[in-house]
């Protein structure tokens, strides 16, 4: 039994029919409920719910303040290696993209760590492409050994691994993991992932659960919005998060809502996602899972991020460089995606304070 | 008559314990402390960064407050024990609030792991205040292993739902010789007042103050409510009658 079994129960559901039959009265009743079912969540993703967006936003704000307070945790990503064996049509690390690949040496990891730590950041998210022979578990463990000296929390956003590998990284000091399914639509997934181990849909889908079984403290999942219909991918993301939270209550489950951004590979998907859609997804999810985390990356622009603070967001990245070694050499430009909010940590902290919220730099101590 | 709560050898005038999380700025804390009159403040060790050049929550806690570091983030007894020892080594004193939570959906405490952690830490000389569901047998075991108080929840953490566990709290207050401090769920000053009227030794709350539009004003309201509830308890509440005293009683015809 894995999430895949639950996914199959809903994969053939006629969502359009559900949306067509959803009434304003349904939405009002659902917003008034304390506990939402997956069907309620789907209704909140319907076009009809757009008419009630302000009410959803008010309740999302109330639930977020109640459960998390007026605080935003700040973190930053650190790209360790952009070597990748996958051929994903929408990603800058695509194996067929021609640019000089780079992997940080331990000396460079230390310099990056010093630069980031000097900004006040205590939560670091390390990223690699999928090239286990070069940037595999032994390399990551060595990096974590250095990063532990500078940060109170270390998270990974790397390729899908075995349960034992997650356990090994946790033993080294990793606390949480992020794994984007990209799209929950298996047919589209197959078309977008042309080559490489990432092509295995099911193996990636089950990766967050393997991390939960390994005892990871936090698991963050998401779909790359814009690849498929956002309502469909949004629903399955929420369903997946709910599955993990129910089955692994000790794990802090969160979701990200990344929108596709320009990369070197530029992939036109025809499924654009506007601000209103993201807000609908964000607020619907908050009503569905009031205690789940919701990080927001610098893919979004500063204005949108400022407003999103009051819509359910709990964590934000700041001072982001998406290129390997970008913190010590900001001229590096072969990033995974284009950063939209370029504010540094100080500017981001000031903005959060101005909005009546407190930036939090430390929310976990590795023990 | 002096009415003092004594825990771990320390006499407390105020029976309101407060938290430090969820504030829009830590700088609000001193005024919240002042307005509430509280003398005990809990802080999550996981949030304290002693090395931060930008300062941290500890800088805003007025001197003289009894610090109650908590083990927030611990998922089992072993982790709670390690956090408690870290807190002590970091200079946070020997009081510790045990929070062992492995349920991130409702944040309900794990009684079994809490008892294990309490036994070890009480044995090491900590003043242990464990956060629990209001379960009589768990509370009795905590008494046996050396807890300094028990802290049952009124409703899940952060829910502001009030005293949903009222009947179970009443049993704990009646049966447990240690101070019973109602922790979590209190949403309104009237909830705190009611807990105190029932005979709770104190109330601990955070969200209700931190999430208020004016935290300082809400802190003052809670301080007054807890004091009022305590006075009412000491005064002895009048008997509540189910039936009114009728001027034409149904049994008035019985003369002998």
Best mutation site among A34, A62, A70, A289 for testing chain B: the one with the most B CBs within 10 Å? A70
Closest residue to B103, CB basis, from A68, A249, A361:
A249
B248 lies in some domain: no
The one catalytic residue in B35, B88, B97, B116 is B97
Mean pLDDT of A266-276: 72
DSSP B61-89: SPTT-EEEEE-TT--SHHHHHHHHHHHHH
Predicted local confidence at residue A261, as pLDDT:
72
Q: Provide mean pLDDT across the span A264-293.
A: 84
Best of A345, A362, A364 to disrupt the B interface (most B CBs within 10 Å) is A362
How close is the nearest chain B Cα to the Cα of A306, in Å? Answer: 15
Report pLDDT for A108: 93
Per DSSP, which regions of chain A are E strands? Answer: 71-81, 87-88, 123-128, 153-157, 176-182, 193-195, 218-223, 252-256, 295-296, 315-317, 358-360
Q: Per-residue pLDDT for A346 more than 60? A: yes
**Can you give the pLDDT at residue B59?**
86
For residues B135 and A56, give the distance between their C-alpha atoms in angstroms, rounded to a whole number: 37
Query: Contact at 8 Å (CB) between A91 and A128?
Result: no
Domain extent at residue B225: 5-235
Q: Is residue A1 part of a domain?
A: no
Please report, in tens digits, the pLDDT of each residue of chain B (256 residues total).
Answer: 578 899 999 999 999 999 998 998 889 999 999 999 999 999 998 888 877 777 788 889 888 899 999 999 999 999 999 999 999 998 889 999 999 999 988 899 999 999 999 999 999 999 999 999 999 999 999 999 999 999 999 999 888 899 999 999 999 999 999 999 999 999 999 999 999 999 999 999 999 999 999 999 999 999 999 999 999 999 887 766 666 666 777 777 776 5
Q: Which residues pair with B7 in a beta bridge?
A: B10
Q: Do B162 and B155 contact (CB within 8 A), yes or no?
A: yes
Say what the pLDDT of residue A340 is. 83
SS (H, E, C) A147-189: HCCCCCEEEEECCCCCHHHHHHHHHHCCCEEEEEEECCCHHHH
**pLDDT at position B157:** 87
A40-64 pLDDT, tens digit each: 999 999 999 999 999 999 999 999 9
Distance from CA of A351 to the nearest CA of B (A): 13
For the stretch A299-344, pLDDT in tens is 889 999 999 999 999 999 998 887 888 887 766 555 666 678 888 9
Please check whether residue B184 lies inside any domain of the structure.
yes
What's the CA gap between A241 and A166, in Å, rounded?
Answer: 19
Q: Is residue A8 part of a domain?
A: no
What per-residue string of b and e applies to A55-91 under the rule 16 or more CB within 10 Å gives b? ebbebbbebbbbbbbbbbbbbbbbbbbbbbbbbbbbb
Vertex B61 angle, CA B59 and B63, to 5°: 100
Establish if A365 belongs to a structural domain: no
Query: Is residue B53 situated within a structural domain?
Result: yes
Taking CA atoms, A224 is separated from A180, A280, A307, in Å, by 7, 16, 21
Q: How far is B107 from chain A (nearest CA, A)?
A: 9
- The residue whose two tokens read 């179970």 is B168
Decide if A338 is inside a domain: yes
Average pLDDT, chain A: 91
Domain contains A31:
no
Domain extent at residue A210: 57-360
Collect all residues of chain B within an 8 Å Cβ-Cβ radius of residue A219. Answer: none
Question: pLDDT class for A260, splitting at 50, 70, 90?
Answer: confident
Q: Identify the CATH number of the domain in which residue A158 sits.
A: 3.20.20.70
- Point out which residues pair with B203 in neighbouring strands: B16, B182
- Rounded Cα distance between B180 and B152, Å, is 7
Q: CA-to-CA distance for A321 and A335, rounded, in angstroms?
A: 8
pLDDT in tens, A189-200: 999 998 989 999
Local structure of residue A99 (DSSP, 8 states): S
Q: Could you say which DSSP state residue A44 is in?
A: H
Task: Express the helix, strand and coil content of chain B in percent, nearest 5 each.
Answer: 40, 15, 45
Contact B24 A356 (CB under 8 A): yes
Report how far residue B175's alpha carbon sits from residue A83's, in angstroms, rounded to the nearest whole number: 65
Within 8 A of A69 by CB-CB distance, chain B residues are: 21-24, 207, 210-211
> Hey, are the CB atoms on A250 and B159 less than 8 Å from each other?
no
β strands within A71-227, DSSP E? 71-81, 87-88, 123-128, 153-157, 176-182, 193-195, 218-223
Q: Does A63 contact chain B (CB < 8 Å)?
A: no
Dist CA A203 CA A207 (whole Å): 6
Joined tokens for residue A126: 């390390």
Give the whole-angstrom CA distance, residue A271 versus residue A273: 6
Inside any domain, residue B180: yes
Is the residue at B255 inside a domain?
A: no
Residue A28 falls inside a structural domain? no
Mean pLDDT of A145-162: 96
**Among residues A285, A295, A356, A54, which one has the least CA distance to residue B211?**
A356
Using the Cβ of A362 and the Cβ atoms of chain B, whether some distance falls under 8 Å is answered with yes
Do the beta carbons of residue A355 and residue A71 sit within 8 Å?
no
**Inter-chain touch A362–B104, beta carbons under 8 Å:** no
Overall domain count for chain A: 1
The number of folded domains in chain B is 1
| Residue A22 tokens, joined | 């959803």
Q: Is residue B240 part of a domain?
A: no
pTM: 0.88
Residue A3 is assigned to a structural domain of this protein: no
Quick one: pLDDT at residue A270? Answer: 62
What CATH number is given to the structural domain containing B26? 3.20.20.70
| CA-based nearest residue in chain A for residue B26 | A358
A107 pLDDT more than 80: yes
Question: Looking at this predicted complex, what is its ipTM?
Answer: 0.81
- What gap in Å lies between CA A70 and CA B21, rounded to an integer? 9
How far apart CA A316 and CA A303 sit, in angstroms, is 14
Classify A112 as helix, strand or coil: helix
């Amino acid at each position: 039994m894995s999430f895949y079994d639950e996914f199959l129960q809903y994969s053939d559901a006629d969502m359009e029919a559900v949306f067509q039959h959803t009434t304003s009265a349904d939405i009002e009743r659902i917003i008034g409920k304390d506990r939402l079912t997956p069907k309620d969540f789907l209704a909140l993703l319907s076009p009809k719910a757009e008419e009630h967006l302000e009410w959803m936003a008010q309740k999302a704000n109330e639930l977020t303040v109640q459960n998390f307070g007026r605080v935003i945790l700040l973190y930053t990503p650190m790209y360790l290696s952009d070597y990748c064996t996958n051929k994903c049509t929408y990603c800058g690390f695509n194996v067929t993209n021609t640019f000089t690949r780079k992997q940080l040496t331990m000396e460079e990891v230390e310099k990056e760590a010093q630069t980031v730590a000097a900004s006040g950041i205590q939560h670091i998210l390390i990223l690699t492409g999928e090239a286990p022979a070069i940037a595999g578990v032994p390399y990551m463990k060595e990096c974590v050994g250095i990063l532990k000296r500078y940060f109170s929390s270390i998270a990974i956003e790397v390729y899908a691994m075995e349960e034992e590998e997650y356990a090994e990284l946790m033993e080294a000091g990793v606390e949480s993991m992020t794994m984007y399914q990209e799209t929950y639509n298996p047919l589209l997934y197959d078309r977008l992932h042309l080559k490489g181990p990432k092509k295995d849909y099911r193996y990636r889908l089950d990766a967050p659960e393997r991390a939960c079984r390994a005892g990871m403290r936090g698991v963050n999942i998401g779909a790359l919005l814009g690849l498929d219909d956002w309502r469909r991918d949004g629903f399955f993301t929420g369903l997946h998060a709910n599955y993990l939270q129910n089955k692994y209550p000790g794990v802090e489950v969160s979701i990200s809502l990344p929108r596709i951004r320009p990369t070197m590979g530029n992939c036109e998907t025809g499924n654009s996602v506007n601000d209103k859609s993201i807000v609908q997804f964000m607020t619907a999810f908050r009503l569905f899972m009031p205690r789940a985390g919701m990080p927001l990356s610098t893919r979004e622009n500063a204005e949108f991020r400022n407003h999103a603070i009051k819509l359910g967001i709990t964590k934000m990245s700041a001072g982001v460089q998406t290129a390997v070694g970008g913190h010590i050499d900001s001229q590096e430009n072969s990033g995974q995606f284009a950063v939209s909010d370029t504010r540094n940590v100080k500017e981001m902290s000031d903005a959060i304070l101005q909005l009546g919220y407190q930036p939090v730099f430390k929310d976990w101590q590795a023990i | 008559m002096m009415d003092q709560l004594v825990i771990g050898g320390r006499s407390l005038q105020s029976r309101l314990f407060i938290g430090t999380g969820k504030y829009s700025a830590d700088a609000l804390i001193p005024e919240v402390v002042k307005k509430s009159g509280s003398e005990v403040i809990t802080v999550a060790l996981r949030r304290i960064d002693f090395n931060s050049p930008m300062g941290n929550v500890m800088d805003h806690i007025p001197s003289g407050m009894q610090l109650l570091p908590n083990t927030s983030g611990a998922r089992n007894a072993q982790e709670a024990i390690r956090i408690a020892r870290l807190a002590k080594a970091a200079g946070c004193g020997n009081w510790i609030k045990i929070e062992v939570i492995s349920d991130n959906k409702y944040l309900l405490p794990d009684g079994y792991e809490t008892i294990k952690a309490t036994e070890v830490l009480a044995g090491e000389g900590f003043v242990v205040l464990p956060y629990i569901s209001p379960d009589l047998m768990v509370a009795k075991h905590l008494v046996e292993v050396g807890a300094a108080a028990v802290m049952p929840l009124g409703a899940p953490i952060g829910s502001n739902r009030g005293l949903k566990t009222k009947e179970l709290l009443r049993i704990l207050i009646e049966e447990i010789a240690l101070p019973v401090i109602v922790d979590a769920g209190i949403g309104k000053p009237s909830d705190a007042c009611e807990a105190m009227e029932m005979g709770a030794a104190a109330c601990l709350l955070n969200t209700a103050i931190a999430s208020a539009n004016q935290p300082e004003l809400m802190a003052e309201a809670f301080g007054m409510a807890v004091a009022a509830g305590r006075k009412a308890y000491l005064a002895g509440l009048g008997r509540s009658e189910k039936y009114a005293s009728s001027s034409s009683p149904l049994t008035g015809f019985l003369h002998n």
